[in-house]
Amino acid sequence: YEDQHVKKFLARFAGNTLAFGGDPAKGADTEQGRPMYPNDYLDLCEIIGQDVIGFDAGIWTPYRKKNKEGNLVPAYKKDMKTRKDYKELVLDSEGQIDDVKKYLKEYKDAIASRNSKIGVTGFYGCLLQTLYEFVIGMNDFMMMVYEDRDLVEEMLEESTVHYCKTTKALVDGGVDFVFIGDDVAFKTGLFISPKLMKEIWVPRMARIFEPAVNAGIPVMFHSDGRIDDIVEDLIDMGLSCLNPLDPYGVDYVDYKKRYGDK
């Protein structure tokens, strides 16, 4: 219902802060269209006191497959169960990254035209969540990690290569910070064992961070749940900010004591 709140603030329809139509954060089953128009977003920030605008720079890995008419459509029906199914998928990396470049320039041009000091970021990077929530399905993904790990790693690697390019595109385009997200935990702990996470996920996420870290661009990371077992790994990658600190699963006072100066 964010679009309704935005409409009340602006007294006009402007979509929500991730999209002019739809809500990419809540689903990847349909094409979401363009992000909120930057001048609407800047007007909203001036009203509510927010100091950054952000857009969907690829929250979900852009897997596509052909429909009955032969057109490429989002492959987010949780029906990829085998390597044969995987071979039917197409990764539209170039198309998504072209959009990242286009919308980042559009947002930065709007900020400059208003002499605004508001910053800009892009939201992206759900390499694990795309698979379990949309492409494969949670239960089948958790089984596949153990029964066909090679296939899971192929998909994670494909996503990683794509998201490394996304980070570079954002950095080259002059983003103020990058906002990478991937929900990897319950409120009690990681979805998969810490050992396995450190083998198949941590090194790949580090590579996604790398172009920003090397350029001195801050990295913000989001995951719901209790991620105690990978916080130090994230810090080692070059993490600047962690979001959110869910009080139902995270002892944020302890986090502050242990990690506040890192």
Q: How far is CA 219 from CA 41, 167, 183, 253, in A?
A: 22, 10, 16, 22
Whether pLDDT at 31 is above 70: no
Q: Confidence band (pLDDT; 50, 70, 90) for 32?
A: low
Q: Is the dihedral of CA 189, 194, 199, 202 positive or negative?
A: positive
Q: Confidence band (pLDDT; 50, 70, 90) for 248?
A: confident
Q: Confidence band (pLDDT; 50, 70, 90) for 260?
A: confident
Q: Confidence band (pLDDT; 50, 70, 90) for 30?
A: low
Distance CA 62, CA 32 (A): 12
Tens of pLDDT, residue by residue over 38-77, are 999 999 999 999 999 999 999 999 999 998 898 888 999 9
pTM > 0.75: yes
Distance CA 196, CA 42 (A): 42
Distance CA 51, CA 45 (A): 7
Which region among 3-12, 20-29, 73-82, 252-261 has the lowest average model confidence (pLDDT)?
A: 20-29
54, two tokens = 């952000």
- What structural domains does the chain harbor? 56-259 (3.20.20.210)
